Structure 1
């Protein structure tokens, strides 16, 4: 166990955060939390259209690496890890907060989801995490942590979540299997399941405001969580205080998941 004070537990840790779109993103909350605990950040942005929204945040967080990453484009993921290897020579934490499905397939119900749309959603939202883990593992020379963002709809039916339910279920299963495979190398893997949050990605879901209001009503703590709740929970899991935890889905939702 580390003898460092809590605020210094991640000083010098090298952390890759993927999926920041703006200051409301879950990934931004994670990046901010890791930075507050002393970590050095590598941050990705989707494309040139997204860069003006992400670059000021990366500058604010003093991230030495700001890199383009569209996981659907061949070679971009590999380029990110090559840059990390060249700059740092190692990596301690990866936060995967990437999900996407074609709008028609997302909003049209699972029964009418096209094979192509299902495959795209699975590749971007799930298999990219496996590819990321494959590239990260050799750089995690002293062990590390991998996090993937899921949602309650992976395990229970949430109206209008549609194709993302099966995709997130696959993501959680992939995380468990990766935890098993990478455990002997000191690498821990967690699916993280935040409660509903007002993010750009969530805005694509039909009647999302109703889901938010219902979660706030049902939460035992009486309120919704925010992106910093998610960020600090991930940061905790990356510290020595959580060194014996792996493969478990952590719900950060104010207790909504326990209420029938």
Structure 2
């Protein structure tokens, strides 16, 4: 029995460690038949090492998502590795430390701009760089967010950055629909990745999540989120775009 991504070519960004959602997305995608290419930043050697832990070792290309020169050459690099694309996974978010941890009122615009560029505008710039790789049958772009409807403790300027990401996804869905390219996001619950652990107060947030979510939530298990991303990459949701799918144990549906 073939997998739901059989024959698909997918570029996955944001794989740094085995604990990352992006790594588990790549693993599930391979298991479902996809051919995978990973991007790496800031230390390609780390991603190359982790790529060997996938069911099939995947090639890795260096990419700084804020570097216009690297973005301009990305299509040629991906084409040389995969020939084209059917799916793209945006798993990138970054904010300087002074934009997190209760410093919301004092953060400089320079740090806010860095967070917005890396975490939100990058969805548009990455997608635009990869557009020449999609064929006549279109494909899917899937990004990762952390529900931006709420002001989370300690999350500070990453909250507005995720809100901008969510709006960017909707506008991309609007403009890419004519190319039969869908753009959706998965709103994940807290996962104990290195990026998450760099957020002050993450441990406290993660501790209460399982107590409040209707379904059991395991902060050490990114695979359910990865499966949700793979489902959106597949042809099983052919008319779903501009959507945010929650993979958070259902906590988003529960009041305080």
Range class of TM-score, shorter chain: over 0.9
Question: Within 5 A, what are the aligned runs for 1:197-212?
Answer: 197-212=191-206
| Unaligned stretches of 5+ residues in structure 1 | none
Q: TM-score, normalised by structure 2?
A: 0.93
- Correspondence for 1:11 among 6, 12, 15: 6
Query: Contact conserved, 1:229 with 1:252, CA < 8 A, in 2?
Result: yes
Q: What residue is the counterpart of 2:27 in the other structure?
A: 32
Residue 221 of structure 1: how far off its partner (Å): 1.0
Distance 1:31 1:64, change over 3 A: closer
Counterparts of 2:57 and 2:163 in 1: how far apart (Å)? 32
**2:61 aligned counterpart, secondary structure:** strand
5 Å-filtered alignment, 1:95-110, equals: 95-110=89-104
Q: In structure 2, how many angstroms separate the alpha carbons of the residues matched to 1:64 and 1:31? A: 9
Q: Where do 1:108-147 residues align within 5 Å?
A: 108-141=102-135, 142-147=137-142
Q: For 1:224 and 1:59, locate their aligned partners in 2 and report how far apart those are by CA, in whole Å.
A: 25
Query: Structure 1 residue 57 and structure 2 residue 50: aligned?
Result: yes
The TM-score normalised by the length of structure 1 is 0.92
Q: 4+ residue runs of structure 1 moved beyond 6 angstroms?
A: none
Which residue in the other structure is 2:145 paired with?
Answer: 150
Aligned partner of 1:160 in structure 2 is: 154
Paired residue for 1:217, among 211, 225, 232? 211
Cα shift at 1:190: 0.6
Residue in 1 aligned with 2:82?
88
Report the count of equivalent residues: 252
Provide, for residues 65-110 of structure 1, a one-character-per-residue CA deviation record: whole Å limited to 9, x for no partner. Answer: 3111121233222333221123333101111111111111223422
* Partner of residue 230 from structure 1, selected from 225, 244, 247: 225
